[in-house]
Amino acid sequence: DTSGDYVLVLRDANGVVVEEVFVSSSSSPGTYTASYSHNVAGEYTMQVLDRGNGNVLISQETVSVQAAAPAASTTSVSDFPPPNTSYNNGQPATFELSLADLFGNSVVDDSVFDDLTLTIAADSGDTITLTRADMTITYNEVTGLHSVEFTPTSPGRISLNLVINGENVLDSSRTSYSAVIEPGPVSAAETEFSGTSVE
């Protein structure tokens, strides 16, 4: 058994070794296994080296480590509302979402929002639950943030709660996300006059 002479090496994009584990033999002849755990997302080169013969390269391939599910402890909301602006009832409103997994890796996969619900609770007691179809979500590759656009449907102070795949991804014990929805533009259709007429 020469399994102790083989190692699995994981290198980052700069060629720096980030993981190195020995390969062990399995119950099947000619089959070997190696287990490693790496929690930084990115593209890596995985190599198997024959350590007993001067680190001869046995095999090499590219592997991708993906971000895990979003975690409340590393996810946050900013620009709620954006600086020098206000939210107005019936008008599109936006905020920025920094979505990350438990290890701090940015979650950029758009499909993660397929099971997203945004709950807006007003001080009046009204609660509105929005799904992906009710929002516009875009990702900014420069900032690493998601921009979320929704439309408020009643004025007053609101608080924000975000759920993805049944998990609350905003830690309300760490930060409270609240904003004020101002009344929207005056609507002729909704305006009424009453009182004594003047002749």
Instruction: Sheet containing 17-22: give its strands across.
Output: 17-22, 6-11, 42-50, 56-65
* 3-class secondary-structure state, position 189: helix
Cα 124 to Cα 119, 131, 185, 193: the distances in Å are 14, 22, 21, 26
Structure confidence at residue 105 (pLDDT): 93
Structure confidence at residue 1 (pLDDT): 44
Tokens of residue 57, six digits:
């390269």
Q: Could you give the CA distance from residue 105 to residue 43 in angstroms, rounded to a whole number?
A: 13
Q: Return the H-helix or E-strand segment holding 22.
A: strand 17-22
Structure confidence at residue 2 (pLDDT): 46
Q: What is the mean pLDDT of each run of 10 residues along the chain (199 residues)?
A: 73 94 74 85 93 90 92 87 87 91 89 86 82 91 91 85 83 73 69 60
